[in-house]
Amino acid sequence: MTRRRWISAALALGAAFASGCDKLGPSRSPFFGVDVTGAKMGGELRLKDSTGKDRALADFRGKVVALFFGYTHCPDVCPTTLADMAKAMKLLESDARRVQVLFVTVDPKRDTPELLGQYVPAFDPSFLGLWGDAGATTKATKDFNIYFQERAGKDAGSYTVDHTAQSFVIDKEGRLRLVWPYGIEPAQMAGDLKVLLNS
């Protein structure tokens, strides 16, 4: 399936969540993203950071977490999303220290912890890249309903990875609250983060 179709599928998924979770209707929601409070997805996300340290979502309790699954060789969706998140952090000013952005690789064969440690903080020094072996990556993606599939390139090392393009927002208590579709504006990200930081 093409990336465009998976983006459309992600938006459709968000609409389904909205119809089931937002009983007040979209006009009453304080969020720009899709409110998925209570959705049966997510998990502890037990992976390693670029230093090899074990990480889980519980480590960031007390912060709002923005979570994105991607890979460093991604030509478009991933760098655009990380750049937009970095802009949102600047808009938050001093509140940015209470937000943690996590980037989980869906390409653990090429995205070594060392590479993630260079790539991810280049967008913002506070951003963390997370890595897992094939089993841990599969578990994390299943927990968050993330699709990813290698697409062959000209040679063994030049493949691309089709993957779900949405991002997730987890509140200070560790609860999954929002899904952001690909292309949401940095100002809208910042607005949603402020609501959760102040709730």
Per the annotation, binding residues are: 74, 78, 163
CA 89 to mean position of chain CA atoms: 15
Q: Specify binding-site residues for Cu cation.
A: 74, 78, 163
Q: How far apart, in whole angstroms, are the C-alpha atoms of residue 181 and residue 12?
A: 10
> What is the H or E stretch that residue 194 is in?
helix 186-197
Task: Evaluate whether 25 touches 167 at the Cβ level (below 8 Å).
Answer: no
Handedness of CA 56, 58, 173, 192 (dihedral sign): negative
Pairing between strand 167-170 and 176-180? antiparallel
Question: Which residue, among 78, 70, 49, 91, has the nearest Cα to 146 in the 3D structure?
Answer: 70
